[in-house]
Every structure is written in C-alpha cells, then in structure tokens.
Amino acid sequence: MELQISAQTEAMFRQRFATGRYASEDELLRDALASLSQTDEDWAAIEEGLVALDHPETWIPLETADAELRSRLQIPPR
C-alpha cells in the first residue's frame, strides 16, 4: 500500500520515529491507529454519557460508578 501524505505529516512521523521508541515504521503506524481507535471509543462513551443525562432512570449511584471505574482501571478502593 502506498500512502500520499503531506510534508508536514511526514515530518511529524519522522520526528516520532526518530525517538527510537518504535522498532519499525509499521509499529509506529499501528500505535497511532490504536490511539485513534481508543479516542473513538472514548468519544463514544462520552456521547453515551451525555445521552444518559437525559434519562435519569438510567443513572447509577456515584459510589457504584466509582467502584466500577476503580475495578476497571485496577485502582484500589478508597
């Protein structure tokens, strides 16, 4: 696959690659795409939360939400 990218985008890509964090250009691209996927998931969760604000019957107690988030993110309970 051949990609057409701007000089500015290529410079940003080369700058990231030059850090030595990535073993290959493919690895850098995979990491960038994974980050975009995570961002998409985050935005979807935010949108879902905003919709839920219009439906109080779906709300859960703050303590429950806190416990669920701590569990999901592996943060010790308070």
Q: Considering the entire predicted model, what is its pTM? A: 0.64
Per the CB < 8 A criterion, the answer to whether 27 and 16 are in contact is no
User: How crowded is residue 51: how many other Cβ atoms within 10 Å of its Cβ?
Assistant: 10
Q: Which domain holds residue 18?
A: 7-72
d(CA 55, CA 45): 15
Asked if residue 34 belongs to a domain, the reply is yes
Asked if residue 1 belongs to a domain, the reply is no
Asked if residue 78 belongs to a domain, the reply is no
Count how many domains the chain has: 1
Tracing tokens 């975009």 back to the chain, one arrives at 36
pLDDT, tens digit (0-9, with 9 covering 90-100), for 39-78: 999 999 999 989 989 998 888 899 999 999 999 999 998 8
pLDDT at 27 over 90: yes
